[in-house]
Amino acid sequence: MMNIHQSAAPAERIDLNLFRVFVAVAETGSTSAAARQLHLTQSAVSHALGRLRSQLGDPLFVKQGRNLVLTPHGRAMMPRVQQALSVLGQCRVQPGPFDPTTAGLEFHLGFRDILEAMLLPPLMAHLDTLGAGLRFTSARVRGSELEERLKSGELDLVVDMELPVGEAISSTAFRAEPLVVLVGPAHPAFENGTLDEAQYVASEHVLVTLEPRERAFVDQRMLGVGRRREVRLHCHTYFAAASVVADTQLLLTMPATYAGRLAELLGLHLLPLPFECEPLPVRLYWRRANSEEPSIRWLIDTVSGLGRALG
């Protein structure tokens, strides 16, 4: 019999981070994908899942083909865990309107180079006008990484092309960017000031994409003409591509707003596409759970306003 003056051994406390791992594995279906989402090693995720299984007395997941699927107990847990994590995430939400002049927060933004160059200068100038002491970090984001990096909390807002996302991500239209062609002095169209479809297809091109699927996305809007281009150089930044155009006969097809700045900077000519082409839709993306947070609403509204001001 236990002496009433002896203390019972305290129950092992469960680390709340273990539940973040549980949700990530449930959403992705594997420890490796969950590790990428959480920016952890796979062994760390497996260890955390093992601890949670031991503490709850249930395997939580079983193997089904290549995926991990929830056990009955895991399925019963899932909505309660998601709700609890959402409530905890709201603890940092400050009541009332967000005041950028006193908040002292740091926002983490995701861009590709063209959007970073278009938005960061007016954003920082706007903050100077407000006298705001906010801090920002900017990171390059591939479309395939967008959802994971928002869900993990690594990024607060991403500006990118129209992409498919899951229910955990909210988005809104930012702007539509028409495409134009940059030509350098070595190309005949530089002096002529005209470029027809036959010349466009016959020329060699430099192509800027972060992922292979992006070319198909753009080509669809070019009514198949883009697929007939001879791409001689494939690179990842528009400034590098435009610098190549300045010294060669290669053509660069790109969004108009940033093209105008590069043309002026590098002495290039900007010409319209010689065929019909839909503008590229650009959207803002953020984590749905953060939608009502005043600081995030302020950030979305501010960046949206800057997009409208770009013309």
Is-contact 85 269, C-beta < 8 A? no
Do 288 and 153 share a domain, yes or no? yes
Q: How far apart are CA 77 and CA 73, in angstroms?
A: 6
Do 258 and 195 share a domain, yes or no? yes
Do 80 and 133 share a domain, yes or no? no
Using alpha carbons, select from 29, 18, 22, 303 the residue that is nearest to residue 166.
29
For residue 99, is it within any domain? no
Do 31 and 73 share a domain, yes or no? yes
Is-contact 310 118, C-beta < 8 A? yes
Do 255 and 269 share a domain, yes or no? yes
For 166-204, what is each residue's pLDDT tens digit?
888 999 999 999 999 999 999 999 998 999 999 999 999
- In this prediction, residue 156 has a pLDDT band, given cuts at 50, 70 and 90, of very high
Is-contact 270 260, C-beta < 8 A? yes
For 224-272, what is each residue's pLDDT tens digit?
888 888 999 999 899 999 999 999 999 999 999 999 999 999 999 999 9
For 1-37, what is each residue's pLDDT tens digit?
334 334 333 445 677 788 889 998 998 899 988 887 7
For residue 94, is it within any domain? no
- In this prediction, residue 218 has a pLDDT band, given cuts at 50, 70 and 90, of confident
Q: Which residues is 140 bridged to in the sheet?
A: 111
The CATH number that applies at residue 208 is 3.40.190.10
Do 157 and 226 share a domain, yes or no? no
Selected residue with higher pLDDT from 241 and 39: 241
Number of domains in the chain: 3
For residue 163, is it within any domain? yes
Is-contact 245 265, C-beta < 8 A? no
For residue 146, is it within any domain? yes
For residue 9, is it within any domain? no
Domain of residue 81: give its range. Answer: 16-89
